[in-house]
């Protein structure tokens, strides 16, 4: 089961004179959990936004399940679940109405919607807050709502931008467990600042600094991670 589910080829993003992402290439196979590491402003989120079709690359391609995200955007978007940074959601909706909305947009009908929402809620543990407006939820629950909408349609690919940010230690543990479970049948890309999360969770880690890929290997190969991280990213930041 080693098919490549995500492929990124020479992805570049320039905003006027500023190069946010510089010729990044990598691929992710089913069963892999890829950890995206980097200092703030390094280009992690920008890369994810290009893979998910939110941003158009200046150069290069991103393919999900073989579909070019820029060319066949809607089809590609059916293949992944995305948790954007900050887990944005409509504040006046409840988790229930929000997840139903996502289910309907993804084309589910009637009893399928009930089933999908029920499964997502059970999996992510949202039943206690199901009918509360999202704006009243704690940061941790808001993030869980974002996760629930990303896994609702059981996609083969998950792209998670800082999925455990703002969660308490127990919630972090729960989310990591969940990611670990799902990775058996999926390809998962997650970005994080937390180095120990990479060690705990990821099968592979990539370090991005100033838009460039500066390291790619297993957590074991990149150990000790904080030293490697500091060395590679401070150096690059000094140059840029």
Contacting positions for another protein (CB under 8 A): 49, 52-55, 73-75, 77-78, 82, 84-86, 88-93, 97, 101-102, 104-107, 146, 149
In whole angstroms, the minimum distance from the beta carbon of 74 to another protein comes to 5
CA–CA distance from 101 to each of 64, 107, 119, 203 (Å)?
A: 24, 10, 15, 33
In whole angstroms, the minimum distance from the beta carbon of 182 to another protein comes to 19
In whole angstroms, the minimum distance from the beta carbon of 25 to another protein comes to 21
DSSP string, 207-226: EEETTEEEEEE-TTTT-SHH
Task: Pick between residue 92 and residue 181 the one whose CB is nearest to another protein.
Answer: 92
Q: Which has the closest alpha carbon to 51: 60, 41, 42? A: 60
Q: Which has the closest alpha carbon to 6: 25, 29, 22, 24? A: 29
Task: Pick between residue 153 and residue 204 the one whose CB is nearest to another protein.
Answer: 153
Task: Pick between residue 90 and residue 118 the one whose CB is nearest to another protein.
Answer: 90
Task: Pick between residue 93 and residue 194 the one whose CB is nearest to another protein.
Answer: 93
CA–CA distance from 15 to each of 20, 57, 129, 179 (Å)?
A: 7, 10, 40, 33
In whole angstroms, the minimum distance from the beta carbon of 216 to another protein comes to 25
């Amino acid at each position: 089961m080693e098919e490549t589910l995500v492929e990124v080829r020479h992805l570049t993003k320039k905003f006027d004179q500023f190069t946010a992402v510089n010729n990044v290439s990598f691929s992710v196979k089913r069963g892999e959990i890829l950890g995206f590491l980097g200092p703030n402003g390094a280009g992690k989120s920008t890369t994810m936004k290009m893979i998910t079709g939110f941003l158009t690359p200046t150069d290069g391609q991103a393919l999900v399940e073989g579909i070019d995200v820029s060319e066949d955007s809607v089809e590609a978007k059916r293949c992944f679940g995305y948790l954007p940074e900050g887990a944005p959601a409509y504040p006046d909706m409840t988790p229930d109405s929000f997840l139903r909305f996502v289910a309907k947009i993804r084309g589910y009908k009637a009893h399928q919607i009930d089933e999908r929402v029920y499964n997502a809620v059970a999996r992510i543990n949202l039943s206690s807050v199901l009918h509360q407006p999202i704006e009243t939820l704690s940061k941790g629950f808001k993030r869980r709502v974002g996760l629930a909408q990303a896994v609702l349609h059981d996609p083969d690919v998950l792209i998670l931008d800082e999925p455990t940010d703002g969660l308490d230690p127990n919630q972090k543990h729960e989310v990591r467990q969940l990611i670990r479970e799902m990775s058996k049948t999926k390809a998962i890309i997650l970005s994080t600042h937390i180095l120990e999360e990479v060690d705990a969770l990821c099968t592979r880690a990539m370090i991005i600094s100033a838009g460039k890929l500066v390291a790619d290997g297993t957590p074991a190969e990149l150990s000790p991670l904080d030293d490697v991280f500091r060395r590679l990213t401070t150096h690059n930041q000094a140059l840029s």
